[in-house]
Structure 1
Amino acid sequence: MAGPVLVYTPDRGIGDLMWHLPTIRAIAATTPEGQVVLVARPASRASEVLAVEPTVARVLHAPNYKGKLKGVREVIDFYRICRAETPRAVWILEKIDRPAIAAFLAGVPERRGFGLGHGQETFLTTGPYLPKAMRPAHRIDKLEAFEKGHGLVVTSREPQLKLDPKAIAAVKARYADRPGPWLSLGIGASEPARTWPAERFAETARRLSDLFGAVFWVGGPNEAESARAAIGDLPNNVVACDLPLDRSAALIALSAGFLGNDSGALNVAAAVGTPCVGLMGTAPVPAYSRWLSRLDGGEGRIADIMVDQAVEAVRTRYESERWDNSHA
């Protein structure tokens, strides 16, 4: 058989990766082997997030450079990947031209991409291309139009992220003494405009203490200190900022619910089927999943979201949907 099918996803966020999962699986379904090789930015952490995804055979990294020569460096990097992998096809889930140029120079026989009236189209072999008018559309809308145009079968936009059973077992063992139901708080974010104050998370946790036996503060190592300071002497609140990504996802999956910033953790919550309330700042993620509801402060000001609103949003869904840990 000829070389693999490569799927190129240029976005840097974990959330972006979750949006692409249905498309990636649909492309894999068109191949005899039922798998693709994913080329992704290191910041997406795709190699960790998709470690047990059956439709992704391997994950290769395409760094995102800065500076005047970033475009040239990206072309060279992907050219080298194509020469090493000798793919029979490349699918580019964006309009950027660098991977298309590299695939053309490497002689990849089948090259598909968004197009969008961009220079990329010159280096592609197989349409149809998305119209230029769709450039302002959200990525999910572009993916849906692309899938339809290329005959890809996607029956649901739910990412349904697969988790490593070993990670789930490890989290269960670590927190076996913590009473349920559990609430996870996603306190991290990529920028201040998407970050709700830690003190408001603490006050929300305090006011929801009658519903949840334990509250886990989920974030990166940089959030651990501010989480501990905000928690103070609040009982049954646990700083879980030291978990590797697979165990953090497992903890979210084992929780009855999730409240958090517009971040990768929020998208992971939706992807693993945990009911989640997203605190929206700039460029808010759409409610693409049935598990996700949005709480928007208005005009992208996450600081305008009050504790009363967050408490009401969680409490209302908890009571109407009968949240518990049994869904995990």
Structure 2
Amino acid sequence: MSIPAGLVLVYMPDRGVGDLMWHLPTLRAIAATTPERKVLLAARPSSRARELLAAEPCVEAIDYLDYRAGRLRHLVEIVDFYKLCRLRRPRAVWILEKIDRPAIGAALAGVRERRGFGLGHGQEAWLTHGPHLPRAMRPAHRIEKLAAFEAAHGLTVGSREPALIPVPAALETVEQRFGHLPRPWVVYGVGASEPRRCWPLENFTRLSADLADIGGTRFWLGGFGDSAAVDAALATDDVGGVNVCDLKLDVGAALLARADLFIGNDSGPLNLAASVGTPAIGLFGDSPPLDYSRFLKPIVGPPGGMAALSVESVAAIARLSL
């Protein structure tokens, strides 16, 4: 597919699936200011943007920029962005981050309009349009920074709901594989990027046993590295369910879109569940709870981390949500 020159290119920082969901309202708002109603997206592979945004109408194309290592990594990242700008020939670049490398690369490539967070870092010298976010916002949460940036640049965001559009082919896969299984569908999100964010797996098995009288089907969703532990838990505890740790991310998002409830750790699947409009109970230990979506119900554990969060309290809220 030929990609037209002259579109607006948006750079998204090196973060994961949850951050991609938080940025969706901003991407759409930027696209809405353009005659094409579309933008190009430059993101890190860890965002999985190509899989998740395949059905997003405001994104024309997605380019991945690899994270570079070594002493010359910053110089190489400048060159990477310079090459991308020379390839795509955008008329403007919006940098949803404070780092200077994409701003420098865009300037060297001759992009005349360059906007970014700033935040008092070296990026500001390479931007052509302000205003920049004040230094006082450096410790603010990413969602707060995005909201402030949108307001400063006159972007209209009616809602922070990501409203992710599932990929149609992935929805068909879910129907073919799981459509015959009884309702309600409850998805347990048992993985996370850090161990401290994980509720013990045995707590999920106890929760599933507690909710057995509700009937339906339980799906156990985590990363590929969680699959063996989930298999062992399902085999020994007789709690039942389907191990879906092997699902591709777009199919996982489609499953979440068809589910009746998600219960899980502070993780990408939690954000995906809320983003597709499925009621999502998020389990939080010492990380700040998220509340950007009306579909997200955070449960914050008592002092002592995730392990101190009781099965009974989670089960009670789950029953109210079904």
**TM-fit CA distance, 1:300:** 7.9
Matched, 1:113 2:120: no
Query: Retained in 1: the 8 A contact 2:52–2:167?
Result: no
**Which residue pairs with 1:230 in the alignment?**
233
For 2:304 and 2:275, locate their aligned partners in 1 and report how far apart those are by CA, in whole Å: 23
Shift of residue 194, structure 1, vs aligned partner: 1.0
Q: What amino acid maps onto 2:104 in structure 1? A: I
Equivalent residues in 2 for 1:1-328, closer than 5 Å: 3-232=6-235, 234-298=238-302, 301-318=305-322
Check conservation: 2:199, 2:283, Cα contact below 8 A. Answer: yes
Matched letter for residue 4 of structure 1? L
Deviation at 1:285, TM superposition (A): 4.5
Question: What letter matches 2:118 in structure 1?
Answer: G
**Contact 2:5–2:88 (8 Å) recurs in 1:** no
Residue matched to 1:323: none
Q: Which of structure 1's runs of 4+ aligned residues deviate more than 6 A? A: none
- Output the amino acid matched with 2:38: Q
Instruction: Measure the CA separation in 2 of the matches of 1:26 and 1:62.
Output: 23
Residue 315 (structure 1) shift: 1.6
> Structure 1 vs Structure 2: percent identity of aligned residues?
55
1:55-114 deviation per Cα after TM superposition (whole angstroms, max 9, x unaligned): 000100111223322211211111110111111000000111111111111111000001
Q: TM-score, normalised by structure 1?
A: 0.93
* Inter-partner Cα distance in structure 1 for 2:257 and 2:321: 17
What TM-score do the two structures reach when normalised by structure 2?
0.95
For the residue of structure 2 that corresponds to 1:210, the secondary structure is: helix
Quote the Cα distance in structure 2 between the aligned partners of 1:231 and 1:39.
40
Q: Distance in 2 between matches of 1:114 and 1:212?
A: 49
What one-letter code is carried by the residue in structure 2 that aligns with 1:247?
V
| Structure 2, unaligned runs of 5 or more | none
Q: Which deviates further from its counterpart, 307-316 or 221-230?
A: 307-316
Note if contact 2:190-2:265 (Cα within 8 Å) is conserved in structure 1: yes
* Deviation larger for 222-231 or 16-25: 222-231
Alpha-carbon distance in 2 for matches of 1:8, 1:42: 13
Task: Tell which deviates more after alignment, 275-284 or 113-122.
Answer: 275-284
SS at match of 2:81: helix
Deviation, structure 1 residue 271: 0.2
Kept in 2, the 8 Å contact 1:11–1:17? The answer is no
Question: 3-state SS of the aligned residue for 2:313?
Answer: helix
How many Å separate the matches in 1 of 2:198 and 2:17? Answer: 16
Judged with a 3 Å threshold, the aligned counterparts in structure 2 of structure 1 residues 298 and 103 are, in CA distance, closer, same or farther, namely farther
For structure 1, list consecutive stretches of 5 or more residues without a partner in the other structure: 319-328
